[in-house]
Chains A and B, each alone.
Chain A
Amino acid sequence: MSGVKDQVKLLTSVDRREFMGLCAQISVVLGLGNDMVPKIAEALEAAARKPSIIWLHFQECTGDSEAFLRTTSPSVAELVLDVLSIDYHETIMAASGDQAEQNLAKAIKENKGKYLVVCEGAIPLATPPGPAGLKGGYLTIGNKTGLQIAEEVCRDAAAVICVGNCSSYGGVQAQRPNPTGAVGVGEALGIKTVNIPACPHNPVNSIATIVNYLLLGTLPPTDRFGRPLFAYEERIHDQCTRRSHFDAGQFVTEWGSEEAKKGFCLYKMGCKGPQTYNNCNKARYNDHTGWPIGAGHGCVGCSEPKFWDTMSPFYKRLDNIEVPFGGVEATADKVGLVLTGAAVAGAAVHAVYTFNKKKEHEERIIDREKKEGK
């Protein structure tokens, strides 16, 4: 058996390089050093039995599966075949119908207490009108409601990881007036879940969470919204590539304008980066190809709970912020007249953002320290 295994490794050496690329990327995202890269690789390879993953789809658009399947280093083939045992995933599995249900039952039974559940999509709790109306009847799979399936499958899991805003917090269908009573999985079941929100989630973060589990046997510490701190501790605004323009009071006021071509700050176009916790600009998307602000569009805050209602309209600038010195808008409108003054004002505005966020930030740190047993 080991002979075959060595041979496989040799013959797929190109994939090995890609594989090490993934380990390096995960190390960065988790905030670990280079010396951890081989350890991560070892942890992934050492598992005699690949961890069983059960991936459930509820009220969703499959965007998070799509995102997951587009990881580029390593190839997703390696992830699916060599690293994880994806025992149930409706989008990719070969079996259908009865056979698919048998696979689910088998995975739960054989890996009781050890399997990881990855959830995609919200769970509707409302009861549709009509003679057969039952709680959660807006979603049924194989005659069971999404709620029933979630309860059955999550009960004996080692952990429940919610990918995307829908499974984390209810997502798109939960925006007002939330006609189907959609909620996140944690809320529907009354359990603690690890949440990897965004729309869709960044697969680097879900894979890093799983790696963290394989490497240390524990789930990463999270903030009060269940989000791993390694990815969601800092705001988009804190690390933004356009941040210097914010501080200098240089803003885009029309798409495609000269200011847009120069990469000025998108705050006036409605960017929600100052109120959004995520690592988009550090991790980027699609093998580091891009991220929304890089594509000239403001952040919409998709990793925040209830962002559909609290962050929209998406092109309206944030207005619940105390602005000193006559306001950032007044200041920004005078850009070019008194650039130094604008820069000072920009920095001051940022100080106020930080002040307003300080309490929340402190709570996050307390959450983390509790997790770490400090």
Chain B
Amino acid sequence: MGTRVVIDPITRIEGHLRIEVEIENGKVKDAWSSGTMFRGFEIFMRDRDPRDAWYITQRVCGVCTTVHALTSVLCVENAIGIEVPDNARLIRNLIMGSQYLHDHIVHFYHLHALDWVDVVNALKADPKKTAELAHAINPHSQRSGEGDFQAVQDRVKAFVNAGQLGPFDNAYWGHPAYRLPPEADLMAVSHYLDALTLQAKAARMHAVFGGKNPHPQSYVVGGMTCVQDLTPDRLAEFIYLMKETVDFAQNVYIPDLLAVAPFYKEWAGIGGGVGNYLAYGMLPENTKDDPNNLFFPRGVVMNRDLGNPQKLDQAKIMEHVAHSFYEGAAPRHPSVGETKPYFTGINTADKDGKYSWLKSPRYDGKAMEVGPLARLVVGYAAGHKQIKAAVDGTLKQLGLPATILFSTLGRTAARGIETKVMADKMQQWVDELLANIKRGDLSTFASYKMPDRASGFGMTEAPRGALGHWIDIRGGLIHNYQLVVPTTWNGSPRDATGQRGAFEEALVGTPVHDPKKPLEILRTIHSFDPCLACSVHVIDPKTNEVHVTKAA
């Protein structure tokens, strides 16, 4: 019997997550992932106006607000069978692109970097050498002169000397798993602070078309309301913010990622997890509601087999509750699921015990990983031109084979590669939008009549993975509404067959130097970018019917 370690709360994530591991001979032997909060969205969605669904479901998550808003309007538009104007599609794509640039930068610097970067060690760095290092990595890196690094080091020193470490207090500084030389640490700390400022600006991109961020307020079923923002000054504001953010991504974020990765090459062999990848795809290239029109493809790759991409069949999605705080044990398709809360307290000692408010979605009976890595794996296997070029280019720069992708390091690298693909694509949408406006096309809304009865679904990709909403409308009101979200896939507990979820499987084999300071566990968990609030939800307990939804 190994040592049991519980980490609760896991910090630098969204929501409430508890991780328990069993450590034997310096490695994780087994793991249990628990979501510890329940809110009941599907219960209070019932009997509301379907046009309000996007506004309510957006509150499922304050991080990917805009993605839930989008998925929800897609879902209702799919149900009532309408097509939105091209401008609405382009504005939605641009907001989505902004979300990715913002989210991946924040994840890398503010939620993940401190797992790899020792802030205290940065105080030992020579600012001149740090500037040389930054210049060698990328001569266009911003705020990376000797004086810049000196200023940051002085600032951090003054901060440490003042004795109030605030958010940096009591972390794992000095842990032997930190490998960066002081100069690289100082560079990263400096860019951590720059990214803190930059991300606030990047969020303003959403606010140009969304009124505010987080929780934008310009989506509606049928299109977008921000018709007054299609003016030269507002578009210029967006373009300016976009260029500044893209510049940061290309000249600071991605170079930093490439600079830090070589120090942690062993992490290319750790944290691979379940090895099955699922992506719903995203970003329509035209206004037709058809998965073949998506820029990022929809599909499935099983057993790391890049040579055998499969089409996604949503009928193969089943949710298990054997180890979740709900009654029952039989797996069900989300559209016929039932949920009766049954709280047993966390029980991981008993192999049949329940330990999470998350359910366990499985595809074709298999645990799946979703997220940036899954999107790249699915796109790569499908031979997607831009994804393939970006992946191959990055691997070449790192001098690593494609197999490194299936790991903790690969997951973190995938986010940077995806940022590059997204940044390159955004200019094209801006150009298309401008061309439409030049032609005098300012249309942003398609009118419709809410039917008495309809059902449908919306699927897209949150930065942290595949997101699907399902709706059933009766009497013009929401009869049933369901969400299957990224972290439910990744953070799920075991299913009825005992198969671990993606977090749990990825932790198995992770080396842990000191069980009291489980830094390595955080590395793998954070590489998924967990987002728990959306993951715990329930299906209406009264519903028990099969819904006929349109083919995926």
Contact = CB atoms under 8 A, between A and B. Distances in A.
Chains A and B come from one and the same complex: yes
A212 interface: no
B325 A97 contact: no
B196 A80 contact: yes
B60 interface: yes
Interface string A128-155: 1111110001111111000000000000
B56 A290 contact: no
A49 B110 contact: no
B217 interface: yes
Interface string B112-155: 00100001000000000000000000000000000100110011
Contacts of A292: 211-212, 217-218
Contacts of B538: 179
A82 B534 CA distance: 33
Contacts, number: 331
Contact of A291 (B44, B212, B444, B518): B212
A66 B7 CA distance: 24
Contact of A91 (B11, B36, B147): B11
Interface string A234-276: 0000000000000000000011110011010000000000000
A314 B158 CA distance: 50
Given A11-B151, A172-B59, A289-B207, A256 B443 contact: yes
Interface in A307-346: 308, 312-316
A180 B343 contact: no
Query: Taking each of B56, B208, B213, B214, which has the highest tally of chain A beta carbons within 10 Å of its own beta carbon?
Result: B214
Interface string A191-220: 000000001100000000000000000000
Contact of B343 (A66, A84, A128, A142): A128
Contacts of A293: 211
Contacts of B158: 4-5, 8
B62 interface: yes
A89 interface: yes
A103 B171 CA distance: 10
Interface stretch (A27-35, A69-77, A348-356): A69-77
B364 interface: no
Given A175-B44, A313-B49, A313-B52, A199 B167 contact: no
Query: Taking each of A52, A94, A171, A200, which has the highest tally of chain B beta carbons within 10 Å of its own beta carbon?
Result: A94
Given A92-B110, A92-B167, A295-B216, A60 B62 contact: yes
Contacts of A61: 14, 59-63, 65, 533-534
A84 B220 CA distance: 39
A175 B151 CA distance: 49
Given A75-B200, A286-B213, A260 B342 contact: no
Query: Taking each of A49, A315, A316, which has the highest tally of chain B beta carbons within 10 Å of its own beta carbon?
Result: A315
Nearest to B40: A179
Interface in B219-233: 220, 222-229
Given A128-B341, A132-B343, A139-B36, 12 more contacts: A12-B155, A90-B9, A90-B12, A93-B169, A94-B172, A95-B170, A130-B344, A139-B37, A141-B36, A179-B538, A296-B228, A315-B51
Contacts of B37: 59, 138-140
B212 A296 contact: no
A21 interface: no
Contacts of A62: 14-15, 61-63, 533
A90 B13 CA distance: 8
Contacts of B61: 61-63
B48 interface: yes
Nearest to A59: B39
11 contacts: A62-B63, A86-B166, A86-B167, A93-B11, A128-B38, A140-B37, A142-B9, A257-B445, A260-B225, A261-B442, A286-B204
B343 A76 contact: no
B408 to A, nearest CB: 16
Contacts of B167: 80, 86-87, 89, 92-94
Nearest to A287: B204
Interface in A85-122: 85-87, 89-100, 102-103, 106
A178 B218 CA distance: 27
B342 A130 contact: yes
Contacts of A227: none
B228 A314 contact: no
Contacts of B227: 255-256, 260-261, 296
B233 to A, nearest CB: 12
A82 B525 CA distance: 30
B16 A103 contact: no
A137 B354 CA distance: 14
A81 B166 contact: yes
Contact of A286 (B114, B207, B345): B207
A65 interface: yes
A315 to B, nearest CB: 5
B200 A290 contact: no
B43 A179 contact: yes
B303 interface: no
A75 B197 CA distance: 5
A286 B16 contact: no
A306 interface: no
B447 interface: yes
B207 A69 contact: no
B215 interface: yes
The 4 A-B residue pairs whose C-beta atoms are closest, nearest first, are A63-B62, A295-B211, A132-B345, A256-B445
A62 B197 CA distance: 19
A295 B208 CA distance: 8
B322 to A, nearest CB: 15
Given A76-B196, A94-B114, A289-B204, A65 B223 contact: no
Interface string B184-205: 0000000001001101110110
Nearest to B38: A138
Nearest to B519: A96
Nearest to B62: A63
Interface in A41-59: 49-50, 52, 57, 59
A183 to B, nearest CB: 13
A138 B224 CA distance: 36
B25 interface: no
A364 interface: no
Contacts of A295: 209-212, 216-218, 225-226, 228-229
A179 B56 CA distance: 15
B213 A70 contact: yes
Interface in B495-537: 516-518, 522, 533-534
B51 A70 contact: no
A284 B342 CA distance: 44
Given A128-B38, A132-B345, A142-B9, A255 B200 contact: no
Given A75-B200, A297-B225, A8 B154 contact: yes
B37 to A, nearest CB: 5
B48 A97 contact: no
A130 B119 CA distance: 45
Nearest to B209: A295
Contacts of A294: 211, 228
Contacts of B442: 256, 261
B105 to A, nearest CB: 12
B3 to A, nearest CB: 14
B341 A129 contact: yes
Given A93-B167, A130-B325, A314 B196 contact: no
A117 to B, nearest CB: 15
A190 interface: no
Contacts of B516: 98
B154 A11 contact: yes
B49 A312 contact: yes
B265 interface: no
B48 A313 contact: yes
